[in-house]
Amino acid sequence: MPTTHTELVNSPTPIPQQPTTFTLGIRTHTGEAVTQFQRFQEELMHLIIVSEDFQVFQHLHPRYLGEGQFQVTTTLPQGGRYTLIADYKPAGAKETVAMLPVAVQGTPPAAPAPIAQTTQVIDTTAVELKLPQPLKAGLPVAVAFRLRDASTQQPLPDLRPYLGEAGHLVILRATTPLKPSDYLHAHALDRQPKETIVL
């Protein structure tokens, strides 16, 4: 399978708080449309949209239009620079990751200071991150998340697989511009949902 090239077929200038439709085209290095894709994690394409300050994160699944084109409509909440991360798998080829920069009208708000603690409350769920120490670049690492009810501190009883996996983890390097090597998408080691998810 030839190397693929991903591009924005339309080039909209998104406006904050207004729907924007992105159309992505997948072609071979000779310009021919890639028409066959393999479904993985239950979808033909996973599209991550992240703002430069990492305050906006969206995980979307564009609709396949045929002839190598995918389309999705979304609303971006603030101005500034974003990266569209297209993750797909052409039939008979390896998983491919493409980075597409876009600019949204307006100035982004000042980013808050990075959060250093390893426990956060998201809606009604307390999430605790556990990492082995010390961390070393280039070596495998087990990343564990402990999930509990924030009010009772009891384990969550109703965890279910999402997109074919017990857990998903996206890691992005804090750099500009983002490159495919700055993106990592990992999955839980055990498909059975538990209080602690290890990736």
Domains (range + CATH), the chain: 4-104 (2.60.40.10), 119-198 (no CATH)
Q: What is the pLDDT of residues 145-161, one digit of tens each?
A: 889 999 999 988 788 88
Does 193 have pLDDT greater than 80?
A: no
Q: What is the mean pLDDT of residues 22-27?
A: 96
Does 196 have pLDDT greater than 80?
A: no
> So what's the pLDDT on residue 91?
92
Does 111 have pLDDT greater than 50?
A: yes
> So what's the pLDDT on residue 1?
40
Q: What is the pLDDT of residues 167-190, one digit of tens each?
A: 888 989 988 899 999 999 888 876
Does 197 have pLDDT greater than 80?
A: no
Say what the pTM is: 0.86
> So what's the pLDDT on residue 187?
82
- 3-state SS string for the chain: CCCEEEEECCCCCCCCCCEEEEEEEEEECCCCECCCECCECCECEEEEEEECCCCCEEEECCEEEECCEEEEEEECCCCEEEEEEEEECECCCCCEEEEEEEEECCCCCCCCCCCCCCEEEECCEEEEEECCCCCCCCCCCCCEEEEEECCCCCECCCCCCECCECCEEEEECCCCCCCHHHEEEEECCCCCCCCEEEC
Share of the chain above pLDDT 90, in %: 55
